[in-house]
Chains A and B, each alone.
Chain A
Amino acid sequence: MTFQEIKLYQTGTFVVGNRLLDPQQRSVQARTGRSNSLTSGHRACQGCGEALGARYVLDAAMRATDGRLVAVNSTGCLEVFSTPYPESSWQLPWLHSLFGNGPAVASGVAAALRASGRDDIRVIGQAGDGGTVDIGFGTLSGMFERNDDVLFVCYDNEGYMNTGVQRSGATPPGAATNTTKVLGHHPGNAFGQGKSVPLIAMAHEIPYVATATVAELRDLEHKVEKAMTFRGARYLHVFVPCPLGWGAASADTIKLARLAKETGIFPVFEAEGGQVTEVSRIRRQVPVEDYLRPQRRYAHLFGDNPRPDVVARIQAGADRNIARFGLLPEGDA
């Protein structure tokens, strides 16, 4: 972690705020003056990780840019639940065009601002994993390649949830969706498919790439703030559990995000110019089973016909992440 850890204050780095801390040290989300970029009344499901993640990211970006911020949104849950005409939950300038062109529109907004001499106004592009990993991928890669001055944020809930839970390129192996049903010898999503856009973004050698989860607010806010110190293309991939699509309790959203990181399933790291610079280490390591069991999309791995072989393959994937990024707690590595 590159940000200042909070020590010796009863609850440390992980809570949102802390009455014992100097107000200047508190997170953006702990402040009564936070911008609430995504305000109440939106139609996201109970316990929506994406709604939470979007507010975390945009409030931090609003603070970092002093409110001079434009958001461009691809089609997806985030767009649908926030803007049923004529209502809007957005409390910042916000544009929506199509599913596949979010990054291109964001590039265009950045270019228009540059042309009009407004380099004080920053641009964020945002989409779910469908609009990033699959449908918007070509325009995103172009945005990276041109090094356009946009922070693109992917809220990854591992599937097309808005249209009824279909598989995306970010759906993990073994997970059941409506297009990867629990059928045959290899139930759920196939192993060895899909892609890691954070690693692809790093291959573009853009100035800044980071991953984060909704379970580590300070880490997330720090990364948004840091991304805003760079000019050029930046990419932030935020892990946001989906109670609907994952078949999880609405109260478990943050717990699942925490477990994804603590199991090694979702590596949390930062990279600059294509090189990993920091990783968020595991604090209390747990087996992947702890993460899988509370989710109905993995129920077929347990139940009456358990598939320990599939669980073992998922564990092997997590172990590979741990080795690859050096995620074990300090001293254990």
Chain B
Amino acid sequence: MDKPFAITLDVGSSRANKTGSWRTERAVYIDRLSPCSDGCPAGEDVQGWLYEAEEGGDGYERAWRRIMEDNPFPAVMGRVCYHPCETACNRAQLDEAVGINSVERFVGDEAIRRGWQVSVPVPSSGTRVLVVGAGPSGLSAAYHLALRGHAVTIKEAGPMAGGMMRFGIPRYRLPRDVLDAEVQRILDLGVTLELDTKVTDLDAVRGDYDAVFLAVGAQLGKRAYIPAGSAAHVLDAVEMLRDLEAGEKPLLGRRVAVYGGGNTAMDAARSARRLGASEAVVVYRRTRDRMPAHPSEVAEAEDEGVLFSWLTTIKQVDSGRLVVERMELDDDGFPRPTGELDELEADSLVLALGQDTDLSLLDGVPGLVVEDGVVAVGPDLMTGCPGVFAGGDMVPHERSVTVAIGHGKRAARHIDAWLSGAAPEPVVRPELATFDTLNTWYYSDAPRAHRPLLERARRESTFDEVVLGHDESTALLEARRCMSCGSCFGCDNCYGVCPDNAVIKLDRPGRAAYLIDLDYCKGCGLCVAECPSGAISMVPEKI
């Protein structure tokens, strides 16, 4: 008996008692899909790259590379994307959505400023792919195809690459040096760009390539029949914006009316103000809340003095004046004429009634089907003609730069699979990280930082960029407002709150920083309840 106290058994640790046997449910680390990533038309892992950006310093480059896995236009996106990610953001239910778009712009601008580049990680595949059209969709497809080792040739009808990013979106929303830098980065991957090369007969050229991606966009302004006097001055918004980009100043006069309620109408009206029109009126047949234009564009246009005439259609155009008719909404929200006529003074009328696609190049392509003026495609974006894929504004879908970029990526994935004869890797979509999966108590109270705007006087007379960027500290703060919905961000809560020390902290960088020690986990669920981001779940134990 050589014991330290008056005892008969050796002193032992309670660790001999494996309390894990009490458990009926176990905690499991999971990744849910954040609403921002779910909502991104370009398929960005938004929460993933914000996680990197939150770290600041080298994190910005990692964030940029994460974006570049899905989208080669971070700096462009950070300006022109209508950020459905922010619309979906869970933080909106707490205070205000995270300014994802402003962080993306900061990261994208950092990449340009510091000259970050990407390179092709695989050897050449030896296959040749033709991309028709150097707009967002075509460039995105070219980028993703080039990264997979394919030789890509882009044939572009216009004099410069960019498509609607250049010839549709005015400079005050997207400065051209930003666009040029991001386009050049794609070309630097070895993509061949042939400008002023309009493909007029696809069937004649497609034999030279193993696959084709069509992304010719929609540049034909829709016409509406409006009786017009001989001296009436009527222009098309798409043409006007294109001319402007080519250096021609359209003659608009002092008072300009723009017909339509979409983003192009806003671009046309705001450009008219900058070109010297003292009055720019947007004429739209429905009400403000039914306008297809993005609310931020409408607000900025209003700020710049653009006027709006809601519930109005144009009946006739004469020199210096329009005859308009008042409308009213019926019970279904459709506009209905009232017969009440009025006059509106206008020296010119700009039509912004939507766009059509010039599909004449597709004549004679076997199997390819055109419906309602757009090309029919399957879920893989392949047309009825094997090996010919299409995306962007020329296929039936919502039209935006971001959607087009997403199409480019999706098409590249399917083209790559089609070329190799394999099925593409399936896209895994975990369950959504809804607001009720979060424990928002833990997030700091942090009001959103909004981007400053250029002063109004300069907005009314120049094409200088309107929305300014964040500085580094503001961008970092905004990134850190992200709640990392559905993914672990290393807050140590699970490690701290376990009454049984059954969470092991691995103390290594990156995700998967913790393990559940199943020898001792009693299955109380505290770690799940107190995980801020909903990245742990309870699952029944097999008994």
B54 and A252 within 8 A (CB):
no
- Cβ-defined contact, B14 with A11, below 8 A: no
Contact of A41 with B444 in the complex, beta carbons under 8 Å = no
B491 touches which of A18, A52, A88, A89 (Cβ 8 Å):
A18
B502 in the interface, Cβ–Cβ < 8 Å? yes
Asked whether A10 lies within 8 Å of B500 as measured between CB atoms, the reply is: no
**With the chains together, A217 CA to B513 CA distance in Å?**
21
Given contacts A17-B491, A18-B492, contact A41 B524 (CB under 8 A): no
Interface size class of B (residues with CB under 8 A): 35 or more
Per-position 1/0 for B467-503, Cβ under 8 A of A: 0000000000100111110000111110111111110
Q: Known contacts A46-B523, A85-B9, A88-B14; decide if A55 and B499 are in contact (CB<8 Å).
A: yes
**With a CB–CB cut-off of 8 A, which chain B residues contact A11?**
442-444, 491, 532
Chain A residues within an 8 Å CB radius of B15: 39-41
Interface residues of B in 502-543 (CB under 8 A from A): 502, 505, 507, 513, 517, 519-520, 522-526, 528-530, 532
Q: Is the interface of B mostly helix, strand, loop or mixed?
A: loop
Would you call A86 an interface residue if the criterion is a C-beta within 8 Å of the partner chain's C-beta atoms?
yes
**In the complex, chain B residues 139-195 whose Cβ is within 8 Å of any chain A Cβ:** none
- Of A29-37, A67-75, A169-177, A272-280, the stretch lying at the interface with chain B is A29-37
Query: In the assembly, what is the distance between CA of A27 and CA of B495, in Å?
Result: 11
Which chain A positions have C-beta within 8 A of B493? 15-17
A255:B529 contact, CB within 8 angstroms:
yes
Q: Which residue of the partner chain, among B13, B442, B526, B530, contacts A250 with CB atoms under 8 Å?
A: B526
Partner of A87, one of B16, B500, B530: B16
B11 an interface residue at 8 Å Cβ cutoff? yes
Q: A282 contacts the other chain (Cβ, under 8 Å)?
A: no
Alpha-carbon gap, A254 to B529, bound state (A): 9
Determine the residue in chain B with the shortest Cβ distance to A56: B496
Q: A17-B491, A19-B490, A20-B55 are in contact. Are A86 and B9 (CB under 8 A)?
A: yes
Q: Please, how many angstroms separate the alpha-carbon atoms of A42 and B209 in the complex?
A: 70
B422 at the interface (CB under 8 A from A): no
Given contacts A15-B492, A16-B496, A46-B523, contact A40 B501 (CB under 8 A): yes
CB distance from A8 to the nearest CB of B (A): 6
* A253: chain B residues within 8 A (beta carbon): 499, 524, 526
Residues of B within 8 A of A42 (CB): 14, 17, 19, 500
User: How extensive is the interface on chain A, given as a class?
Assistant: 35 or more
Interface check B123, CB cutoff 8 A: no
Q: Which residues 221-260 in B have Cβ within 8 Å of A in the complex?
A: none
Is there an interface contact between A47 and B520, defined as CB atoms closer than 8 Å? no
Contact flags B1-40 to A (C-beta < 8 A → 1, else 0): 0000001011111111111001000000000000000000
Near A by CB (< 8 A), chain B positions 312-359 give none
Return chain A residues, CB-CB under 8 Å to B499. Answer: 44, 47-49, 51-52, 55, 253
A258 CB within 8 Å of chain B: yes
CB–CB A89/B13 < 8 A: yes
Q: Are B525 and A250 in contact (CB under 8 A)?
A: yes
B444–A252 touching, CB < 8 Å: no
- What is the CA–CA distance of A51 and B513 in the complex, to the nearest angstrom? 24
* Pair A17/B524 contact, Cβ less than 8 Å: no
Residues of A within 8 A of B498 (CB): 52
A10-B443, A32-B507 as given contacts; A20 in contact with B480, CB under 8 Å: yes
Q: A8, B480: Cβ atoms under 8 Å? A: yes
- Please name all residues of chain B whose beta carbon is closer than 8 Å to the beta carbon of A30 when the two chains form the complex: 492, 495-496
Additional pairs, 9, CB under 8 Å, beyond known A9-B480, A44-B500: A16-B491, A17-B496, A32-B505, A43-B14, A43-B19, A87-B16, A88-B12, A89-B13, A251-B526
What would 8 A/B residue contacts be, using CB atoms closer than 8 Å?
A18-B491, A40-B501, A41-B15, A47-B525, A55-B499, A86-B9, A87-B13, A250-B525
